[in-house]
Each structure stands twice: as structure tokens, then as C-alpha cells.
Structure 1
């Protein structure tokens, strides 16, 4: 079924992503994000590096845009929560890319921009 959010589902559902750039965040090249998409709803988990365990929930807001809320516990035992708004794209090699503007809601202050690239299956 082709919906307004089909592109996001095709590009993100049951796919894993790693950090390409995240100068001001906790996730790094060893953090893996695993997304699931059903209709416009997005869920996922992430862990690795400074992140012991993280969970996220969000929604598609347009044909290639998403917004997420995330929470995690760090390897140092900190409990953090934040928000992000992003764009789903494709790089020159055909891999899905994610680009976000994000900020902390609880446990830390500040925010930044980050980008992610799909890992090979």
C-alpha cells in the first residue's frame, strides 16, 4: 500500500544506522540505532559507546521528515531524554541517511545537529 509515508517506511523499517557525525551528542561510531516503522509510527532502540540502552518513539511528519522523542541510560548510569526533528535521505551509494536537529529535555542541556548512515545488512 502506497501512503504519504511509504518512503520513510521503505528506508527505515527494520534497518540499522550508525553515527556519521555527532559532535555534541553522546552517540558515536559504536552506537547502533535499530528502527521499526508502521504506518506513520516509528519506534526503535539504540546502544553502544556511552549508551547502555536507549529507546525512541516518533512519527513521520511528511514524505521525508520525522520527529522523535528518545530516552537512554548511559554507561555511567545517567538517565537522559531528548527530542529531534530529521530528514530521511539517500547517499550516493544508495544507503539511507538521517539528518537531525536535536536537543535535551531532561538530564542534560544543549543540543546540536547529527547525521547517520545505514549499516550494511
Structure 2
């Protein structure tokens, strides 16, 4: 199992569609006893939260976010935790909106920047 996500800051490696999470978004992760949660913000996202569970190298969580245009959205994501050769953490994500149409995949990687 890859190391704990607690205290790590991760960012997408590529932009998603406009109005969604992008390379300027930062996720500040927390982990304790199989529970995971994070706060995120940046780019088109004013504030976002995710909460879920970790079993081995698999994360399963729900997310909700407020965008700069004042709208909210929510969805479900399953991620695989991967430790990179340089010791950083990557999440390979498969997500689906629950509040609107749409689904996809994305990759977020650990960055050395402070949390938002």
C-alpha cells in the first residue's frame, strides 16, 4: 500500500472542461483510520470538499463544489493510489457527476505547494 495521503497537497496534471477542476486547483488531503477527506479550491472552483474511504490503494469518495459562477455540483469518484518513482503520490481517478451529466478520468499528483 502506498503511503498515507494525510497532509499531502495534490493538483491535476491537466485541465478538465471549463468550469471544473483544473491545473490551478489544489487538493489538501487528510487521512485517518481508513477515512479520507480533502478541501480544494483554485481555478473555477471557489470551494470544494470530498469525503470517503480508503481500502488498500483504492479511494472511494463523494465530492461537492461551489464554482466561481455561483453554481454547485456533486459527484462520485474512485481512485487508485500510485507511488511515483520519485516518491510522490499520484491518484488515477474515474469520476461521474451525480448533479449533472458527465463522467471521465483524471490524474492528480502530489505538489510541493502549500494548501489553499
TM over 0.5: yes
- Asked if 1:70 corresponds to 2:47, the answer is no
In the alignment, structure 2 segments of 5+ residues that lack a partner are none
- Asked if 1:49 corresponds to 2:43, the answer is yes
Q: 1:31 aligns with which of 9, 25, 33?
A: 25
In the alignment, structure 1 segments of 5+ residues that lack a partner are 1-6
Q: What is the alpha-carbon distance in structure 2 between the residues aligned to residue 70 and residue 78 of structure 1?
A: 14
Contact 2:64 2:74 in 1 (8 A): yes
Give 1 or 2: higher helix fraction.
1
Q: 1:120 aligns with which of 98, 104, 112?
A: 112
Contact 1:11 1:96 in 2 (8 A): no
Q: What is the alpha-carbon distance in structure 2 between the residues aligned to residue 74 and residue 59 of structure 1?
A: 25
Q: 2:12 aligns with which of 19, 41, 56?
A: 19
Contact 1:36 1:42 in 2 (8 A): yes
Structure 1 residue ranges, 4+ long, deviating more than 4 angstroms after superposition: none
RMSD value, Cα: 1.6
| TM-score scaled by length of structure 1 | 0.86
SS of 1:11's partner is coil
